[in-house]
Amino acid sequence: MTTTSTNKIKLPVAAEELEFFAEEEPITIIPSFQLRHSANGMLSCVGGDYGPFRPNMPVEVPIWLALQLHKRGKCRIIPPQFLDIPRLQALITAEQSDLDSFQPVPFYFMEVCCLLFESAKDAFGDSFFQVRDLLQQFVNIRRHKIEDGLRMVAQASTIRLANLSAYEANLIRLNLQGSLNMFLKFSKVELMLENRAAAMTQPTPGF
């Protein structure tokens, strides 16, 4: 299977763009069909060859393809391991106990969750609402840590920003960009006032 890494995108970008990039992330499906026109059971697409597709045999494909097959009733999507309930509970505990850093998560974990929750919630069965609530709790913990870190920037304090997801990096970039723009605006005003004050203190020729 051929995939393209998109972790080096320029931020900030729109949420829709992040979801577009996340659609290339691999996910496991259980097909309910077989490609009879293909000798090796592979599906050739512009982005690469995927498969082989055989009934009840797990195969890894990009999320965009998994969602299309799921929409047509051609496969069952297996949620990523990081969305297992025990894994989410462990992540929440670790995130709460470590106030200075972030737990490692897939770069597009937020976008992947949104895509699955919107178009394939049945993949989670009866656990959907519990998974959703645990994920929301995990995201809130990380967001509060980000907000605390941004508030401490002006106090010469630091917070480790490794293991941020695309969504979180985008959020920080937007906040810092807004603060920087405001700082530059104030700096220009201060410079203008200083120049004006200096001009007013200069002696007038002829006096």
**pLDDT tens column, 136-161:** 999 999 988 887 776 665 554 555 66
pLDDT at 113 over 80: yes
| Res. 203: pLDDT tops 70 | no
Would the pLDDT of 175 be above 90?
no
Whether residue 31 is predicted with pLDDT greater than 60 in this model: the reply is: yes
Average pLDDT taken over every residue of the chain: 80
Q: Is the pLDDT of residue 184 over 50?
A: no
Q: Is residue 6 a contact partner of residue 21, using CB atoms and an 8 Å limit?
A: yes
CB 121 within 8 A of CB 128: yes
Q: Evaluate if residue 198 carries a pLDDT over 70.
A: no
Residue 78 pLDDT greater than 70, yes or no:
yes
Q: What is the dihedral of CA 45, 51, 56, 58, to 10 degrees?
A: -110
Domains, the chain, with CATH or none: 15-199 (1.20.58.2050)
Global pTM value: 0.71
Give 187's pLDDT tier (boundaries 50, 70, 90). very low
